[in-house]
Amino acid sequence: MATRAAFITGGASGIGQAVAKDLAARGWRVGLADIDAEGLEATKAMLPTGMATTHVMDVRDRAQWAKALAEFAEASGGRLDFLFNNAGIAVGGQLETMSDEDVDRGLSININGMVYGAQAAHALLKATPGSAMILTSSAAGISGNAGMSVYSAGKFAMRGFAEALNAEWGHEGIFVGSLMPSFIETPLLNHVTQDSNRTVRESVRGAGLEITPVDEVARTVWNILEKRKDVHTRVGKTAHRLWFMARWMPGTLRKMARRSFK
């Protein structure tokens, strides 16, 4: 049986790194992509020798996507069993106080980067039987919260993008889904929002919410690949609570969001 192959954006740290380690341990060849060259090498050093390639790239650049995937396909023998379209950034603050640069950067990475990746990878996915693409959305793609308008815009977009592509590509044998983690133990928790001097980690703990181990996300990704069933998959207690409330208690959820902004 040919060695299965995965291409992972955001592979230098966090969720991308955890998924890379999990798949490599299962015998997969892994392509690690990120703008952080040093982080990529650190992740590669955690994986079995000869089972990973690194690709320094900016997901906002179509030409870099094409180059990285061509290099990866050469190493994998033309296989792409799984595209983990995962790279993203945390952007926060009240919309009217955010700089144009922060807004544009958040949208271009969290939306355009995902779309460009899907475009670039489609031919390889189609040529690999039983392939899949997972887009990293977020609990912020279940319910919008104050101070997260631009971030939520990107994560809600990935929900719709996953549903549409699952319908478009399903007849080609490509499964497309979205991953909706809540607060995961990754470097993103150390981000300080524009309107606060507290990190996301401090705010989460102050609100009495849980932080989910990143290895739980990696296990969830594997389950998605195995079952190929649900388009949207939540990770973490907060994400599951928000999903329930968004469906059955939307009015209460809106009131909670407004109260949190006062």
Q: CA-to-CA distance for 250 and 44, rounded, in angstroms?
A: 43
Laid out side by side, the sheet with 5-9 consists of 52-56, 29-34, 5-9, 82-85, 132-136, 175-181, 232-235
Find out whether 80 and 55 touch, Cβ atoms under 8 Å.
Answer: no
116 is catalytic: no
H-helix or E-strand spanning residue 180: strand 175-181
Catalytic member of 84, 151, 156, 183: 151
SS3 of the chain: helix, strand, coil, percent, to 5: 55, 15, 30
Report d(CA 126, CA 128) in Å as an integer.
Answer: 5
Whose tokens are 């050093």? That residue is 45
**List of residues 6+ apart from 98 with CB closer than 8 A:** 91, 150, 194
- CB under 8 Å to 28, separation ≥6 — which residues? 3, 4, 5, 6, 51, 81, 82
For 123-126, the CB contacts below 8 A with 24+ separation are 124/69, 124/73, 124/78, 124/79, 124/80, 125/80, 125/83, 125/169, 125/172, 125/174, 126/169, 126/172, 126/173, 126/174
Positions marked catalytic: 151
